[in-house]
Amino acid sequence: MQEAAIITLKKHELSVTDTRKKILQFFLESAGALTHADIEQQMGEAFDRVTIYRTLQTFVEKGIIHTIPSADNAIRYALCKDNCAAGHHHDDHVHFLCNDCGTTYCLDHVSVPKIKLPKGFTANQTDLVVSGVCHKCEA
């Protein structure tokens, strides 16, 4: 996984630092979306909150990860797919939040439906979060 993190960082024209490698590797190994707190807990004392925050913001800006809104206002982050680039996210898929385990999943195969807005309104982004019970908790 460490090699995949290095390749991704270089592809997005970012310098390969220990912090970036470790945080990106954590995303690559994760099944769902992550919060700042998840990353901070995983990294332990190795990185301070500000370093993690700045790294996440850089990853969002470069099209490596995208943000997922939540009802509790805790921003979650998930890996982007290959068609995202700096300043151009194409994450028009549904996100699913499990009420039992708290995991947020990107449902890449379920697209957000087109919303017809009234005249004079222009959408820049549409987020759709569905909550319920995931396949792991349902079993």
pLDDT averaged over 10-residue windows placed end to end, the chain, 139 residues: 86 92 92 87 84 93 85 81 57 81 80 87 82 88
User: Residue 128: beta bridge partners?
Assistant: none
Domains identified in the chain and CATH numbers: 2-138 (1.10.10.10)
Q: Can you give the pLDDT at residue 84? A: 58
Q: How far apart are CA 39 and CA 68, in angstroms?
A: 15
Return all residues near 139 (Cβ < 8 A) that are at least 6 apart.
Answer: none
Q: Is 21 helix (H, G, I), strand (E, B) or coil?
A: helix
Neighbours of 32 (CB within 10 A): 19
Quote the pLDDT of residue 126: 77
Task: Say what the pLDDT of residue 90 is.
Answer: 54
User: What does the pLDDT read at residue 129?
Assistant: 84
pTM (global) more than 0.95: no
Please report the DSSP string for 55-83 in residue order.
HHHHHHHTTSEEEE--TTS--EEEE--TT
Scanning the structure block, which residue is given the tokens 């994760």? 30
